[in-house]
Structure formats: structure tokens, C-alpha cells
């Protein structure tokens, strides 16, 4: 049943052992300054049998921190810390990409040295709170980025890619999903600009395109992935013209020859219900490179998506938390461990709920 999901596959010039990816997940185990340590290296090495390991969302600047314990990719200590992870994954026979991001409005001044969060427009993230050093706080009204500031945002992503390359990551994934900065620029709900970066579908895509251009000056395009979330409501997202916007983005991204397009087609993070959900088949019609599905897949639905030709890879999130040997369990038809206790998902610098799960072999 699982022969297609477990088959080797190619993304760019990389040969992957199977079509299963470890989805990038927030786990908040970095040091206070964002430096990854030995515990993170052990976590990723445990899961290195995935065809592709995608390390968690990593801030590209001190202003791009969204929660305590998240890792960074903007200073020398981060480089040294991440090298521990890449060395451990490679020693275990795995391939690993780093997901680079900027949260935009989805942060708080208490997390970014008192600075006001930035966004395409001064529109607050509603009906949610975030954890800060002073406890849970409502999100703040962000400051709209000036035109002269946008090149620095692009430069942040390029520097993050440069650090990833120096740390021996096999590639990077550009996070343009889940209501973070690049997604905020893409979507009409959060982008009310009237300049060259807003107004039309083409203009809202512009920042993502310029970030991809900059990052592909560091890595070849076939070592760069991009993540999109067309159906998501997470972080107060969802735009009436979502289908037109994300179809256009995929069409434009296709020209780069990317390693893959990572589409969160599942509805496990919530669905904005502004129309029918976009499917992998829709993206397959406009994107010719490898497609990765994500969000709520089981081994059975993942196998169906791959065997029916809708996806080339499937990323698993929550099942990988408590099953570091997920590939081996799927291959052997071995039942999965129970889902991990959610209270341990984000416990800073502790092995509990992170690296202490049993394996079947």
C-alpha cells in the first residue's frame, strides 16, 4: 500500500530516500539568543530517515522573532549552533532544509527589543494573543513598512540563506504562509497598500518574488522551496480573492525551477470558508515542479495523494512529534505512538515531549 510514498524521489539535484518530509514545526528549544543547541541536533537526527527534514521557522533578523525559544539565522552563534544540527542529520544519512521567515505583524514589541512590529499595512492581528516575557499579550497594531525599508527585508532573507548555506543546510524553504510577513503581503485582507507592493494580485506578489530572486543568488533555485497556505485562517488570514492570488503566485514561481512548492492544502489549521478549498490538483495544473502537500495527512491519505499523482512529497507534522521513526513505522505497518501531550510541545530546553519518544525498532 505504501510503496509509492516510500519510493526514492528527486528534487532538483538531490536524491531523497522517500517522499516523506518532516514538516517545519515550532518547538521553542533554542537558547535565549536564538542559538540552536545539542538538544535540537538530537531531535532532527532522530527524524533523519525522512526523505527531507525541514527545520522549523527561523528568524532572519532580531526584529523577526515571534516567540521565546525560537531559533535565528542572523548571527555567528546561530551558524555554529545550526552546524551541530546539519552534521547530525547528514551523519544519519538525511537531507535538511532550513525554513527562513519573518513574522511581520505576528509578534510583539516585547519580543523584538521594544520595536513596533511591521507589516504591509497597519492592520492588527485580531482575536488572538501571544506569549511574551511579561505573559500573554494581545497583538499590537503594526507599522506599515515604508518603500525604502523593503530592500532591507529582502536583504534579511538573503542573509538568512547565506547563514544556512554556511551551516551546510542542503537548501532553504522560504516561509510565505500561515499569516506571516510574506503571506501578509500576498493577501488582500492584510495588504491595503496602493504602491508597487499592493493593490493588484501582481503587485501583492512582488515582495515574495524579490525575496526568491535574492535567495536564489545564494542557493541555486533547485535548492529553494516556497511554502504557501491558500486555505488557511491561521493568524487571522483569508482573502476573498485567494484562488486568483495563489494561482498567480504558483504560476510565477514555476518559472524559477524550484526544489518544490510546499502547499498547505489540508484544513487542520482551520479553513477561511470563503469558497471551496484549493487542492493540490489545482496547483499541479499551473506548477510543473515537485509539489509537497501538508496539514492533517495520515499515512493512508498521503499514499493516495502520491499514488494518484497529486503530490510528489507529503509533509507530516504532529505524527512526527511522537514518532521519530515515522518512516519505519509506515514501512512496517507498525501502529503510531499516541499523540504527544500538547503541554510539552513548546517547553523550552527540555527533552520531555521532544526527544524522549520510543521507537519501534
User: Could you tell me if 290 and 262 are in contact, meaning their C-beta atoms sit under 8 angstroms apart?
Assistant: no
Strand partners, 132: 135
CA distances from 335 to 43, 151, 239, 305 (A): 21, 49, 39, 21
DSSP string over 70-99: --BSSSHHHHHHHHHHHHHHHHTT--EEEE
- Count of CB atoms within 10 A of residue 228's CB? 27
User: Could you tell me if 97 and 12 are in contact, meaning their C-beta atoms sit under 8 angstroms apart?
Assistant: no
Question: How many residues are present in the chain?
Answer: 361
Share of the chain residues as helix, strand and coil, in percent rounded to the nearest 5: 30, 15, 50
* Planar angle of CA 234, 29, 322, nearest 5 degrees: 75
| C-alpha cell belonging to residue 355 | 526527544
Pick the catalytic residue from 180, 197, 205, 256.
180
Active site residue 43: no
CA distance 338 to 309: 30
Strand partners, 99: 173
CA distances from 238 to 74, 209, 229 (A): 31, 21, 10
Q: Please list the active-site residues.
A: 180
Amino acid at each position: 500500500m505504501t510503496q509509492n510514498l516510500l519510493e526514492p524521489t528527486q528534487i532538483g539535484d538531490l536524491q531523497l530516500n522517500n517522499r516523506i518530509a518532516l514538516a517545519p514545526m515550532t518547538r521553542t528549544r533554542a537558547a535565549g539568543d536564538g542559538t540552536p543547541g545539542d538538544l535540537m541536533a538530537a531531535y532532527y537526527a532522530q527524524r533523519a530517515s525522512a526523505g527531507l527534514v525541514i527545520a522549523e521557522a527561523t528568524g532572519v533578523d532580531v526584529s523577526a522573532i515571534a516567540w521565546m525559544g525560537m531559533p535565528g539565522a542572523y548571527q555567528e552563534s546561530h551558524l555554529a549552533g545550526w552546524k551541530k544540527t546539519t552534521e547530525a542529520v547528514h551523519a544519519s544519512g538525511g537531507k535538511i532544509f532550513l525554513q527562513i521567515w519573518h513574522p511581520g505583524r505576528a509578534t510583539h514589541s516585547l519580543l523584538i527589543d521594544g520595536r513596533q512590529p511591521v507589516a504591509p499595512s497597519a492592520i492588527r492581528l485580531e482575536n488572538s494573543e501571544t506569549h511574551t516575557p511579561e505573559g500573554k499579550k494581545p497583538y499590537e497594531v503594526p507599522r506599515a513598512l515604508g518603500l525604502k525599508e523593503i530592500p532591507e527585508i529582502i536583504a534579511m532573507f538573503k542573509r538568512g540563506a547565506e547563514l544556512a548555506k554556511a551551516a551546510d543546510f542542503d537548501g532553504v524553504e522560504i516561509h510565505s504562509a500561515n499569516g506571516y510577513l510574506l503571506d501578509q503581503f500576498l493577501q488582500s485582507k492584510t495588504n491595503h497598500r496602493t504602491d508597487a507592493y499592493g493593490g493588484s494580485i501582481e503587485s501583492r506578489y512582488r515582495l515574495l518574488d524579490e525575496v526568491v530572486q535574492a535567495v536564489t543568488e545564494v542557493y541555486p533555485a533547485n535548492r529553494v522551496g516556497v511554502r504557501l497556505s491558500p486555505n488557511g485562517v491561521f493568524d487571522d488570514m483569508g482573502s476573498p480573492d485567494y484562488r486568483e492570488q495563489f494561482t498567480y503566485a504558483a504560476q510565477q514561481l514555476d518559472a524559477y525551477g524550484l526544489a518544490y512548492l510546499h502547499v498547505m492544502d489540508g484544513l487542520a489549521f482551520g479553513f477561511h470558508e470563503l469558497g471551496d478549498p484549493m487542492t493540490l490538483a489545482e496547483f499541479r495544473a499551473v506548477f510543473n515542479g515537485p509539489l509537497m502537500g501538508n496539514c492533517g495527512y495520515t499515512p493512508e491519505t498521503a499514499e493516495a495523494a502520491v499514488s494518484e499523482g497529486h503530490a510528489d512529497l507529503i509533509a507530516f507534522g504532529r505524527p512526527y512529534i511522537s514518532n521519530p521513526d515515522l518512516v519505519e513505522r509506515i514501512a512496517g505497518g507498525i501502529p503510531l505512538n499516541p499523540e504527544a501531550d500538547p503541554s510539552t510541545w513548546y517547553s523550552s530546553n527540555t527533552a520531555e515531549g521532544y526527544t524522549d519518544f520510543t521507537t519501534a525498532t
